[in-house]
Chain A
């Protein structure tokens, strides 16, 4: 399955795009998505390790399956306020 991942802040800047699309098996979890992101975009390896993954706008733990996800985002450590 193809999954689009929204990028923000330093991740967006490093990759040069506001989203990326990765191919994953249907049984993929958040952890699998992290591995694929790092493998295809080594430039964000360190940031991915410090980021959360949001699935349908909820922070998701690594064991969450993403097959049904409508929107996935990489959430680097936040700095609002």
Chain B
């Protein structure tokens, strides 16, 4: 198999994860190394502590990504980094490193939108062509579809994201972040559904009511039943809004990407919701669901192949970069 000749480096550092990946222009993932910052149980991610973690692990993660891929800095055609959205101090670690590599080794530099990374890597790995995208991660809960040179938003959370809901719930019952897999295990042991606010407004949804209600009744209910009820309520809301978008857009594929895509119960619900509208569900493989360097490296290639890149002095970060403002250079 022709694995391709152009190699690019992608650096991811928006939140918990510091990741680096080397990929070819044909989409072969030559390496994908990551190191995840884990705050103490019961507390959230502190941007300063996370960025300190990233600065400490960055050199070894990047070195390993290169050596596993069997390339040196000189072989790279470009370096891409996550420019937003995310936590400012964390973003700066990746951007600063990318700028250093770019100027020292004289390589083009490419700022990449983190969410576009999740979506485009998903397109590559699932083979989806024109899907309704369900993007669910720490930073995003959005329904998207491609419209011309943009990913357009068809529905989103009005307040916190699904990832934040699960992490905040996890913290409230004393679990470490990211809490996704632990909450999923607890939920499997839940037996009784506790009624929680179910808030769908048009194609948008709101999760903040769930966390307030959970905090109010936390002493009265078991963690298992609460985990079960939080998942059932939050996932049903997402499945319903996905159905609304499907009924509107008539897409034949639904693609799920982002860290929460790893949840089995959510996949099951989205699968059933999709088939009600004759659409096929495609889910990003679990190994690439969470934040990783490959999502950045791949979008780097999409820009590079279309001649879009810049110089190190133009590197920037934008903590609140919206996905529907990103100009896509590829079709």
Instruction: Report whether chain A binds chain B.
Output: no
